[in-house]
Chains A and B, each alone.
Chain A
């Protein structure tokens, strides 16, 4: 039968409220002096901090010292941590202050392996009789308020994928979580653009089911008038041929359709190359569920550009067997537009994640990290894994997940030369990426 464990620490200064063994501590929780809060889902749509609201905990403590002077010193230590937490919460570069917790008779946590949350600030209110010397050197009824991150984090679990061709879906299996939990990624073999290499920005996609992430060759969208299959194996497409659009006019023309089953708001990415030096193209996706139709906004493909992955837009699907097509418009009835891959990802899934890492990023043979840093920093980290070298990015880098099997895809074009291949290559071979997922199991209540 374990006892309450409750500690506030930055790794250097530690204020122990309960030691997990029922022993006497300097900061003793008054009986009934803490009603733990359970965080709700975050109301704000802004990312970077996970899915749950911060909560404010209030503790009523009796602070014991060997003398009143020592009791004041104890208060001072607590105040130091609270101030540091406040600075941390503002984004200042100070060490994180965490609250460690294991309830009595815990099923999951223990004093050796407690639940943890970051403290983001707080305040201390001393009792009204503070000026009265207490013969036992106790300051009774100190009110400590701490604002903490809403989710209690526990142990981590790490698993890796097999080496997976760039542009294809990698799979990682680990233990399912009850609720979404912070998930850090390590991606090996992201290729860096420089004067000699033509690698593109990197799109990282995360999903929690195979239905929620689909990557398929665009030549599935055949047959259709003015669309054909173009043999392009030398440029490493997803299959031997890519979908070629040869405009016969400047009016919008449609590819064939592709049935989708995933229900939710789906993000569409296309890998596109404009072969014309003069004709620009517009692309948008057309969605039809048999009763209603909708379009994504136009995406402009400049002349003589690509291959490059473009975000085309969002479609909301409510039924199985809905059809998407591509609608292409040329600025002149000349030139050709090639489309290799189509990537669909369900953004409504709780396991959804998407981060676009901008060049320059990665190094051949080395790893890029997307790390929530939930217990160590106020902001997530995207950058080199072997040193603190941040990359530019777009998207919520505080990835979370809960599924037992996670699916990942890395979308990148280019090569270690001037030729831009449909998928990133090195030395004439497709780059393979290895994904390592470290998930920190999260709880909302005492476990």
Chain B
């Protein structure tokens, strides 16, 4: 089964050239995001080299064996050398780095709310009220202040990121209202900023009594990009004490989806739609390979970030399994984005290594750990030590680390300490392995180019006495590099993602 390398004018387009007979040094690779890069040389005359060098568009490169796609991507770099043309293509994961994305998906932040002024909207007189946004939205009446209804309105406003591609859809919150009769609390959405056309979404009339509740408001304004909460007073002079009459909103969450929770799969599908709309020949529109981590993310605001960066953030959070699984995103054949647990679509291979470079160093080993945190009075504290005696025995030394924990909770600091110890107690080998043959568990031989990042490889010809903790005999593949000229596969084992990183990322997301 020999390989074909062809260049098409676009995915599914016309064949520009079949370079299979004359391509030299063809090498292609995969990484954790799918097809990575491909390069080869073609001996051509100068005039022919410019045919590709100067060609408009983004040609599509395919390496195939019959119907099987060994690699595909877009031709990004063409350089003319003495001997002809040197071509370099990158996988369609690159399409997710073409166009930055700005959108709010979910926020629970109060810091983005501010007191509105008459410049924002007429009849706004927020200075006549006492307001704050410290872990709440709060508007209170001031003693001896004279109010006129519909003219002296106290308002706190929120604006979605400018140029964002999503409208506000739902607002949920708890509220406490203590307003006199004639006063009204309202949640209002606007389109085109705080001064734009408005739609009343939720309101409560004052009754002179304190009461509260929870609201989950689906906005009727389909193009809402901003919100405000306000007190529209009765016309009178308030003689009570400042702060006796107020509205208070807590547990606030704004979303740009009507889904009950914001999961990474919904964001990923939106990124595909966004990217496909801009460059339809790049990422395909199908989203069937996107799975859900089922992890609700409360604060997801992306400002001028590339979709690839956003996806990296999303997979770093893991999922709702216990312990959380590692996730991956990537693009393989047919330009389809996948989002799934790392290695869940991977295959299992068995090989006999012909070239093995493994470096084991105890530089990264820490088998005794304590965490440093601060108590409520900002006094530095240290947790008791946690140690792994097996590691101490194996490596002949106690290697201790202090882990900085951004918490005031001794319990939380202990969790961080234990997670760090688990990550650091064994060395991670740095390895590069090359082999010519790929076998499955039944002993059947497979083409080497089928091995991809996320697959699992077991090296059969290592000593059976090797310590399994060495992570060398069986490992998940981080990167593959296939040399067609020599039919040689080179793989790099994956370093396990430090679970501490996952833990800290999730804490940052309040998960």
Contact = CB atoms under 8 A, between A and B. Distances in A.
Interface of A: 43-49, 51, 89-92, 203, 265, 267, 269, 280-282, 289, 291-292, 294-295, 297-298, 300, 302, 311, 313-314, 316-319, 329, 331, 347-348, 352-356, 358, 378-380, 390-398
Interface in B21-46: 21-23, 26, 42-45
A294 B347 contact: yes
Interface in B1-29: 1-6, 8, 12-15, 18, 20-23, 26
Contacts of B484: 44-46
Given A45-B487, A280-B288, A352 B1 contact: yes
Contacts of A280: 286-288
B452 to A, nearest CB: 9
B441 interface: yes
Contact of B67 (A203, A298, A358, A398): A203
A433 B138 CA distance: 79
Task: Please classify the interface of chain B as helix (H, G, I), strand (E, B), loop, or mixed, using the class held by over half of its residues.
Answer: loop
B289 interface: yes
B18 A397 contact: yes
Interface in B222-278: none
A48 B20 contact: yes
Given A44-B487, A91-B43, 16 more contacts: A46-B5, A46-B21, A90-B45, A265-B445, A281-B288, A292-B441, A294-B440, A297-B332, A300-B288, A314-B450, A316-B442, A316-B445, A318-B442, A379-B21, A392-B13, A396-B2
Contacts of B379: none
Nearest to A303: B286
A348 B446 CA distance: 9
Contact of A292 (B5, B287, B442, B447): B442
Given A90-B22, A298-B289, A265 B1 contact: yes
15 contacts: A44-B486, A48-B22, A90-B44, A265-B444, A280-B286, A292-B440, A294-B441, A300-B288, A300-B336, A317-B444, A347-B1, A352-B66, A355-B66, A394-B67, A396-B66
Contacts, number: 167
B159 interface: no
A398 B66 CA distance: 12
Nearest to A349: B1
A254 B112 CA distance: 51
B3 A316 contact: no
Contact of B8 (A265, A295, A390, A392): A392
Task: Determine which residue in B13, B15, B67, B487 has the highest number of CB atoms from chain A within 10 A of its CB, and name it.
Answer: B67
Contacts of A380: 18, 21
A280 B3 CA distance: 31
Nearest to A322: B442
A395 B4 contact: yes
B66 A311 contact: yes
Interface in B419-451: 440-447, 449-450
Contact of A92 (B2, B15, B20, B45): B45
A9 to B, nearest CB: 22
B199 interface: no
Interface string B62-74: 1011111000000
Contacts of A355: 66
A267 B65 CA distance: 10
Contact of A43 (B8, B444, B487): B487
A392 B4 CA distance: 13
A390 B6 CA distance: 14
A353 B445 CA distance: 19
B485 interface: yes
B66 A395 contact: yes
B1 A348 contact: yes
B2 A331 contact: no
Contact of A378 (B22, B68, B347): B22
A265 B446 contact: yes
B20 A49 contact: yes
B334 interface: yes
B345 interface: yes
Contacts of B67: 203, 267, 269, 311, 354, 356, 394-395
A45 B2 contact: yes
A132 B437 CA distance: 57
A333 B446 CA distance: 36
B276 to A, nearest CB: 13
B4 A311 contact: no
A91 B8 contact: no
Contacts of B26: 44, 46
B446 A300 contact: no
A371 to B, nearest CB: 13
B89 to A, nearest CB: 15
B446 A49 contact: no
B442 A265 contact: no
Contact of B3 (A43, A45, A353, A390): A45
B485 A44 contact: yes
Contacts of B487: 43-45
A48 B347 contact: no
Nearest to A397: B18
A318 B446 CA distance: 11
Contacts of A295: 347
Nearest to A268: B67
Contacts of A347: 1, 65-66
Nearest to B25: A44
A46 B336 CA distance: 26
Given A44-B484, A280-B288, A49 B21 contact: yes
A164 to B, nearest CB: 20
A90 B21 CA distance: 10
Contacts of A391: 15
Nearest to A42: B2
A282 B287 CA distance: 11
A313 B446 CA distance: 12
Contact of A90 (B4, B8, B43): B43
A394 B62 contact: yes
Contacts of A358: 12, 14-15
Interface string B469-490: 0000000000000001111000
Contacts of A48: 2, 4, 18, 20-22
Contacts of A92: 45, 48
Contacts of A353: 66
A299 B347 CA distance: 16
A379 B19 CA distance: 8
Contacts of B447: 45, 265, 314
A50 B480 CA distance: 27
The 8 A-B pairs of least Cβ separation, nearest first, read A311-B67, A354-B66, A48-B20, A47-B2, A316-B444, A48-B21, A392-B15, A347-B1
A46 B3 contact: yes
A395 B443 contact: no
B218 to A, nearest CB: 23
Given A48-B4, A48-B20, A265-B444, A356 B66 contact: yes
